[in-house]
A and B are shown apart, each in its own frame.
Chain A
Amino acid sequence: MNTKVLKSLIGMVCFAMMAAASAMASDTVKIAYIDPLSGPFAAVGDSGYRHFQYNAELINAKGGVLGGKKLEIVAFDNKISAKESLIQLKNAIDQGIQIIIQGNGSSVAGALISAIEKHNNRNPDKPVVYLNFAAIDPAFTNEKCSFWHFRFDASVDMKIAAITDYIKETPKIKKVYLINQDYVFGHSVSSSAKAMLAEKCPKVEIVGDTFTPLGKVKDFSPYIAKIKASGADTIITGNWGADMSLLVKAGKDAGLNVRYLTLYGNGLGAPRAIAEAGIDKLVTVVEWHINLSVEENKPEDEKFFLDYQKKYSNDGEMPYYYGRARTTMEMLADAINKAGTDNPRAIAFALEGMEHDTPYGKVQMRSQDHQLIQPLYLAVYAKADGGSVKYDSENTGIGFKTIKRIEGEATAMPTTCQMERPEK
C-alpha cells in the first residue's frame, strides 16, 4: 500500500472520529415545532413558534437542561395539512430530532399520533415523544390515547364541562343554541354539550343545533335570524378564526342580545375583529389570559408576558396568548432533568404523573391518559380600564376579565384510555 493512500485513509478515519465526537458532545436538545407557518393560519402558527422560542430562551438563560445543554426550537411548516405534517415529521426525525411540539388542528394531531406510534414500534431505540399544546379532540386521551402523546391544553369535554357548570349556576340561562363547524371538532363540541346539559341542567332547553361548513360562511345573518327566531338567550360555540368573528359581528348587526359561551372567542385575531361587540357577552374557557396576572397578583408572570410582548409581539399586535406554552416547556425541561437524559422514552416516563407549580397553582400530567390537569378560567371581554382590566389585547382597548375560576380537580373528566406502555 503506498503512503498516499494510507495517509488519506488515516485522514478519513480521524475526520469520522471527530464528527462522531462532535455529535456525541452536542450541547443542544433539539425540539421540532410543526405548525402552519404559511397560508391562512400562518399568523397563529407563527405566534406559537415565538411563544416556544421565548420560553426556550428563558430556560437556556437559566442554564438550560442537564447541567448546561441548551434547548433549540426548530420550526417546520405543515400548512395545517395532515399529509404535510407527516412529511415534516419524517424531516425532523431525519435531522435527529426526537421531541415534537404541535398544536393547531385535531386532524393533524390524529395523524401525528398514529405515525409516531408506528415509528416508535419500528425504531424502539430511537423513539419520538409528542407534546400537543392545542389539539383538543377528546379521543386523543380516550380511545386513541398513546404513551408518546402528552396534551397540555384542556380537552373539548373539559371545556364544555366548565361551560355547562356555568350554565347550571346561572339561572337566567334558559334556552341554549348550539352552532358549530361541520367537522370532527365541531361535532364533539355539540355532542358533549348536549350530553352534559341533559345531565346537569335538564330544565335548560336546547333550541337549536346547527353546523356550518368550516370557513365557508361569509355572512352569518341568516343563522342569526334563525337563532333569533328560536328565542335563545345563550349560544355555545366551538367556532374559531373567521367563523367566530363573523358570527359575533353579524349578531351585533342584528341587535341579537345573547351570551356567547365559546372555546376560542379570545383566539389570536378575534379581539381585533370582534372588539366592542364582545364586551360582557363573549365568554371563553382559557387557562391564561392577559389580565390574569393582575387579577391574581402575580407580578412575576406579569413581567414574564410583558417581556415577551416587548420582544416578539410586534408592538402588542400579536400578544402573549398560549399560557400553556410556558407550562409545556418548563415541564419538558424538568422531565429531561429528572430523567437525566434527553432520551424520549425516559422523558415520557418522567412526564407521566409529573406535578408542576405554575404561577396559578399546581398542575399535573395525569398518568392514565397523559392529559394535563390545570385550573381553568371563564373570561369575558371587558374594556381595559387601568384597574383590574389593566391590559388590552391586540391594541384594541379591550381586554379580558375572569368571571370564574375552576380548580384543576374539578375539570378532570373520567377516561377510557387503556394505555400500552413500553418497557422502561
Chain B
Amino acid sequence: MVEYLIFSVLNTLVLGMLLFMLSSGLTLIFSMMGVLNFAHASFYMLGAYFGYQITTVAGFWSALIISPLLVGILGAAVERYGLRTVHKYGHVAELLFTLGLFFIIEEGVNLIWGRNAMPNFIPASLDFPLFTLFNSEFSAFRAFMLLISVAIFIGLYLVLTRTRIGLIIQAALTHPEGVNALGHNVPAVFMMVFGGGSALAGLAGVIGGIFLITEPSMALTLGPIVFVVIVVGGMGSLTGAFVASLLLAGLQTFAVGLEYSLVDLLGIIGVTVNADGILRDIWRIQLSHIGPILPYLFMVLMLMFRPKGLLGKREN
C-alpha cells in the first residue's frame, strides 16, 4: 500500500508537471489576448516532431534547446502575421483562425512525417532506473521531466514577478486597456507572450513526445485536458494552472486505484440497491473505469459553482 501510494504521488507529479508546461503558456495567452488558442496543442505536437527530427541529427540535448526555440519563433510569426491581422475582426475570427491552424498543422504533420507513430525513444543517457523502491523502478527520464518542469515554474514565476516585462504582462492580464493607454507596446508584448507560450508548449512536446507517443493525433488527445486545466485553475493565473495541473493529474492517478461503484458507496451508508434493470450499467461503473473522464466532470462543476476558477481573479 505504501509502495502504491508513493508511486501514485510520483506519477501524479510527472503527469501534472507535463500538463503544467502545456497549460502555463495557454493560460497566459488566453488571459492576455482573450484568444482561446486551439492550436496550442499543435505547437506541442510540432515540438515533439521537431525534437524527434533534431534528435536523429544532433542528439537529444540539442533538440531540447533548438526545438522549443523553433516552435517559439513559429508561434511569434503566427501572432505577428496571422492573429494580429485577424484581431480587428473580433474574438470569433481569432478563434476560427486558431482552429484552422490546428487542422493545417495536423495535416502538415501527416504530409511530412506520415500517419504512423515515430520511433521516438528515451535518450540512452537518461534510460536507466534512477532508484528502486519496494522493487518498483522510477526511471531517470521521469525525474528529468520533473526537474525541467519545476525549473520552468520557478523561472516563469521569477520573470513574471521580478522583471519589468513581467510587471507589464501581469498588468496586461487584468487591465489590458489600461496598459495600452499608458503607452506600452502591447502588440509587441502579445507577440512575445504568444511566442514564449508556444516555446513552452514546444518544450513540453520534446519531452512529452518521448514520454507518450509521437503521432499526428497527439495534439488531439492532449488538447482538451489543457483547456480543462486553465478553466479549473482560473484564467491568467500561473499558480492556478500549477495547482490545477497537479490536482487533475492526481484525480486521474488516484481514481485508478479506487474500485468502488455507486452500489458500494451507497452500501457504506447502509443503502442497498437492486443493481439490475435499465440502470445496471450506471450502478456497476467503478471509479477506476472513469478516472480519465473525471477532470471534465470537475470542469463542469467548477463552471457551475465557481466560474472564475480556483485562483482566477476575473469574473468574465
Interface of A with B (CB < 8 Å)?
Answer: 40, 42-43, 46, 182, 210-213, 215-219, 221-223, 225-226, 228-229, 242, 245-246, 249, 253-255, 268-269, 272-273, 275-276, 314, 317-318, 394-396
Stretch in contact with the other chain, from B1-9, B25-33, B262-270, B304-312 = B1-9
Given known contacts A221-B11, A225-B4, A269 and B257 CB-to-CB distance under 8 angstroms:
no
Task: Select which of B3, B129, B213, B221 is within 8 A of A245 by beta carbon.
Answer: B213
Given known contacts A254-B137, A269-B116, A272-B119, A212 and B289 CB-to-CB distance under 8 angstroms:
yes
Task: Select which of B7, B114, B118, B222 is within 8 A of A218 by beta carbon.
Answer: B222
Are A228 and B136 touching (Cβ within 8 A)? yes
CA of A221 to CA of B212 in the docked complex: distance in angstroms? 11
CA of A43 to CA of B118 in the docked complex: distance in angstroms? 13
What 0/1 pattern do residues 214 to 226 of B give for CB contact below 8 A with A? 0111001110010
Are B212 and A218 touching (Cβ within 8 A)? yes
B165: interface (CB < 8 Å)? no
B142: interface (CB < 8 Å)? yes
Are A219 and B11 touching (Cβ within 8 A)? yes
Contacts of A255 in B (CB 8 A): 129, 132, 136-137, 139
Are A219 and B117 touching (Cβ within 8 A)? no
Given known contacts A40-B217, A245-B213, A222 and B289 CB-to-CB distance under 8 angstroms:
no
Are A225 and B15 touching (Cβ within 8 A)? no
Are A317 and B253 touching (Cβ within 8 A)? no
Contacts of B216 in A (CB 8 A): 40
Task: Select which of B8, B213, B290, B293 is within 8 A of A225 by beta carbon.
Answer: B8
CA of A42 to CA of B14 in the docked complex: distance in angstroms? 31
Are B137 and A242 touching (Cβ within 8 A)? no
B176: interface (CB < 8 Å)? no
B252: interface (CB < 8 Å)? yes
Are A219 and B212 touching (Cβ within 8 A)? yes
Interface of B with A (CB < 8 Å)?
Answer: 1, 3-4, 7-8, 11, 14-15, 114-119, 121, 129, 132, 136-139, 141-142, 211-213, 215-217, 220-222, 225, 252-254, 256-257, 288-293
Are B292 and A253 touching (Cβ within 8 A)? no
A199 to chain B, nearest CB (A): 24
Pick from A42, A254, A394 the residue with the most CB of B within 10 Å: A254
Task: Select which of A222, A268, A276 is within 8 A of B11 by beta carbon.
Answer: A222
Name the CB-closest residue of A to B211.
Answer: A219
Given known contacts A212-B289, A213-B292, A216-B293, A222 and B256 CB-to-CB distance under 8 angstroms:
yes
Contacts of A219 in B (CB 8 A): 11, 14-15, 211-212
Given known contacts A226-B257, A245-B117, A269-B117, A218 and B136 CB-to-CB distance under 8 angstroms:
no
Given known contacts A225-B136, A254-B137, A273-B213, A215 and B116 CB-to-CB distance under 8 angstroms:
no
Are B115 and A223 touching (Cβ within 8 A)? no
Contacts of B136 in A (CB 8 A): 225, 228, 254-255
Known: A249-B213, A269-B215. 7 other contacts (CB 8 A): A40-B217, A213-B292, A222-B254, A222-B291, A228-B3, A245-B117, A272-B119
Name the CB-closest residue of B to A394.
Answer: B116
A37 to chain B, nearest CB (A): 10
Contacts of A225 in B (CB 8 A): 3-4, 7-8, 11, 136, 257
A231 to chain B, nearest CB (A): 11
CA of A218 to CA of B118 in the docked complex: distance in angstroms? 17
* Interchain Cβ contacts under 8 Å between A and B, 28 examples: A43-B114, A182-B289, A216-B293, A217-B292, A218-B15, A218-B221, A218-B222, A221-B15, A222-B253, A225-B7, A225-B257, A226-B257, A229-B3, A229-B4, A242-B213, A242-B215, A242-B217, A246-B213, A254-B136, A254-B137, A254-B138, A254-B139, A255-B136, A269-B117, A272-B116, A272-B119, A273-B119, A394-B119
Contacts of A213 in B (CB 8 A): 289-290, 292-293
Name the CB-closest residue of A to B224.
Answer: A216
CA of A273 to CA of B142 in the docked complex: distance in angstroms? 18
Are A272 and B252 touching (Cβ within 8 A)? no
Are B116 and A396 touching (Cβ within 8 A)? no
Name the CB-closest residue of A to B225.
Answer: A218
Are B256 and A226 touching (Cβ within 8 A)? yes
Are B116 and A222 touching (Cβ within 8 A)? no
Contacts of A269 in B (CB 8 A): 116-117, 215
